[in-house]
Every structure is written in structure tokens, then in C-alpha cells.
Amino acid sequence: YLPPPSRHESNQDGLLGGLLVPGFDEQSCISRYKSTSHLKKLARSPSTHLVKRLREQEALQRRCGPGTETYRRAAERLGPRGNGNGTTTDDDACKYLVLVPYRGLGNRILAMASAFLYAMLTDRVLLVHRGTSLPDLFCEPFQETSWLLPPDFPLGDLENLTGEVPESYRNLAREYGRAASVSDLPYVFVDLDHACTYHDKLFYCDDHREFLHRAPWLVMRTDGYFVPALFLNPAYQEELDKLFPRKDSVFYLLARYLFHPTNKVWGLITRFYDSYLKDSDERLGIQVRVFDGDTPFKHVLDQILACTSQEHLLPEVVAQDPGPPASTAGARSKAVLMTGLSSWYFENIRGRYWQSATAAGEVVSVHQPSHEEHQLTGEATHDMKALAEMYLLSMTDALVTSGWSTFGYVGHGLGGLTPWIMFKPENLTTPDPPCGRAASMEPCLHGPPFYDCRARRGADTGKLVPHVRHCEDMSWGLKLV
């Protein structure tokens, strides 16, 4: 007699090595515990220290989050009746990080993962500006509280803050030692746009414990994955080493913890996966992102074909009609998932395997969930499809991505996959080589600091520590390996 497994036991496997806690209402967010039924086993396990710090962060979010008296008082200080002085003398008071993510969904996901890690390193409550689609995309990551910035938050027009405002870190860094100090400001604004200035980027060298911790509110605007820069700051090194003994899977673990698609998006994911991908022997993902315009380009199609042929990812086809087809019973099947705004690349590749037989007899099916034609960021259905497709890419066995694309970074990072990256074409020409294997599954930071925090001077930041290197697809970018 085998007793039926209790709900708790049956969930054990779904907890991702302690990344997740049981107890959420499963029906309200099916993907949280059920994603494991569609995923390969964990590519990397979380360290015990990471698991402990996540539980502490969850407790902090609950103790200080929206709806609590502490939050109300802290927010009040920012409002019209606040005294304009943000300094808190109470060491137990809660401190907040308000994140304003922007640009496409890939950018926003990378920004949220980075801000979450920064919040955890600096004991801040993370609150995310919801924009127009965030609640349609993701479940709440923390129990009994919300990570969404309440709509009645006293500071308005957050999306239009720039490094020029008096509250900006840029000004504090420029005028360091002069009159303006953290204590005089209701909040500090950190501008980490990929095109921000030298003074903005000094934030990456900031020792929060000495300086910024006096600011109860940090408002941060970013569109990218700034985690590699945190690994260059001596202030966080010891803690980051404990959190992530392996440096190549920081995004993977943070993303598996934070980003659980809503039931609607999970429906898009699972229906597509079960219909077109599940039963194949192998799954290959090809993410096509073109930055030169939305019209089809032959040099991009050539690049996809050159890359997949060179790396033996797609089977060769035979030019000659091989005569009556042999039986395909027992033949290996390969499902190819393509994503992109255009359907032209997909139709060409699907046509290739329709019109010609494969040399070794594999059966190749090619699928693309959507072709939106143009980027419509912020529109809920459009963003939901984008998320579903990033997630589907993460469920493949091998993945080819487009260089410079944060959409692609999320696809491979979420899946724990080390991709083949197609280098960004210059002058509308297929690059040679067309692609190369990435050094790790980590995303690339596009707007890195060029400053050595220890030596206090400019430096090649891809050479300071062994685990932070330049990216394969962007020579000045930085990534963890």
C-alpha cells in the first residue's frame, strides 16, 4: 500500500532546489509549481546562502511592502506634505528601491533581475513600476505582498526622470563633498540607461553601506543587465561569492525565482509546446532579431543557414530527388522553433525541408508562434506573446540567438542554455563566421562601466576579475562566465 502523496510532497520536486517556497495558491499561478513538468532538470542549483537570503528578502518585502504602516509613512515623506528631507534616523526603518524598467520586454526582464539582486545586496524592498503590461505577464514573486509599485505612489512621471534632476546620483557624484548630500534629498535617482554618463556609472563603485544607505528611497531607471558591474564592486564581492559560488548562472537562478508567467501566458506556452515541440526527439530554437529594419533580408537568412550548417544544428538537405521516399518510421525527428517579428525567415526554412529530403533521413518540422511584424512594446497581448516565445525558446535543447538582443538573452538565460550567437551583421552583409558558441548562459551588459573601483581610475573592466569578461556579440559589453 502506498499512501497518496500529500500536496506538499508532490510539490517537493517543483520547488527548484529551494528557490521557491510552497504555500502559494497554485491555481492562481499554475506556472510557479508546474513549470518543472515542462522543463529539463535544473541546470544549476541554488547555494544554501542564496536560499537563505531569498527567504530573508521575502520577509522584508512582507514587513515593509505596500499596505503596511511602514510603507505608508515612508511614502508620505515623498508627498506634498512630506518634509522633503528623506533621511531616516531609525536604523530599523525600511528602505526601498523603486525600479522603472523600460524599452522592450527583454530589456525590462533583465532590468528587473538586476534590480532584485541589488535590492537583496543592499537590504531594500524592491518595488517595480508596472508600466502598461507587467501584471498581465508575471505572477507576484513574493507571498502575501506585492512587488508592484502602488498606483498612488507620490512621485509621478517616473518614466521621464533623467540624470539631470537635482536628486540624481550623477549630481551627487559630481558634487561629492560639496553642499548637496544624500541627507538633503527625499530620494536619490539612479540613471542606468545604457547611454548614461561617467558620473552615473560611479554608482557601480558605490559602497552602499557608507553612503546610499542613508537614502530611504532609491529610484532607479534601467533597461539592462547590470549584474556584471556589481561583481566588479569590491563592496559586494564577499557576499556575491557566497550567493553564487558559480558565476555563470546568476541570471538563470534569479529568473527561475522571479519570473512566473501568469496563467494566460502559461496557456500560450504549454499549448504551443504540447502541440508542436513535445513529441520530437530534439528541439532547436532559432531566435531572429534584426536591427536594420522589419523587412526581410537575404543576408540574415544566409547567416541562419550558414550558422546552423556549420554547427551541425540543422540537417543538410539533398539537392537531387532521392526517388521514392523511404519509410520515415523510426526516423529521428527534430522540431525547430523559430521566433521573430517577420515570418519570412521561418517560411524559407520550413520550405527548405518541405521541398527537399534530408541527407540522413531525419524528419524536420519548423514552427513559429507569431509574426508581429513590428515592435509594439507595452501592448499587453503583444508583450504576452513575446514572453511566451522567450519561454518557449528556453524549453529547447539547443538555441541559436541573435547578437545584441536582450530577447535572446532572456531565452537562453531562462533555459540555462549556452547559445550559439549570430553576430550582428554590419553593412547588410552576412558576418564571417556567422555565429559562435557563447562562453556562458549569462546575458551581456551593454553599457558597462570603464572604471576600476579599486584603483579609482579608468580601466578595461573586462580584465579586472576572471569571471567578468567581454561579450561575444559586443566587444565592449561585459558578461559573467
Q: Which is nearer to ligand GDP, 78 or 417 (CB)?
A: 417
Report d(CA 361, CA 334) in Å as an integer.
Answer: 11
Report d(CA 106, CA 255) in Å as an integer.
Answer: 12
Q: Which is nearer to ligand GDP, 45 or 377 (CB)?
A: 377
Q: Which is nearer to ligand GDP, 197 or 375 (CB)?
A: 375
**Least gap, CB of 77 to ligand GDP (angstroms):** 34
**Least gap, CB of 372 to ligand GDP (angstroms):** 5
Report d(CA 99, CA 94) in Å as an integer.
Answer: 16
**Least gap, CB of 270 to ligand GDP (angstroms):** 17
**Least gap, CB of 367 to ligand GDP (angstroms):** 13
Strand order across the 188-192 sheet: 125-128, 96-101, 217-222, 188-192
Q: Which is nearer to ligand GDP, 215 or 265 (CB)?
A: 265
**Least gap, CB of 32 to ligand GDP (angstroms):** 22
C-alpha dist (Å) from residue 379 to 23, 105, 136: 32, 11, 10
DSSP string, 323-361: SSPPP-TT--EEEEEEE-S-SHHHHHHHHHHHHS-BTT-
- For residue 330, what is its C-alpha cell? 523510426
Q: Which is nearer to ligand GDP, 47 or 401 (CB)?
A: 401
Report d(CA 100, CA 131) in Å as an integer.
Answer: 8
Residues within the interface to ligand GDP (CB under 6 A): 103-107, 289, 339-341, 370, 372, 375, 377, 382, 385-386, 389, 405-407
Closest of 316, 339, 335, 305 to residue 412, by C-alpha: 339
Q: Which is nearer to ligand GDP, 96 or 251 (CB)?
A: 251
Which residues have a Cβ under 8 Å from the Cβ of 101 and sit 6 or more positions away?
107, 108, 109, 111, 112, 115, 128, 129, 131, 222, 223
**Least gap, CB of 410 to ligand GDP (angstroms):** 7
Residue number of the CB atom closest to ligand GDP: 104
Report d(CA 386, CA 2) in Å as an integer.
Answer: 43
**Least gap, CB of 227 to ligand GDP (angstroms):** 16
Q: Which is nearer to ligand GDP, 64 or 109 (CB)?
A: 109
**Least gap, CB of 16 to ligand GDP (angstroms):** 24
Taking every pair of Cα atoms in the chain, the longest distance, rounded to a whole number of angstroms, is 85
Q: Which is nearer to ligand GDP, 348 or 377 (CB)?
A: 377
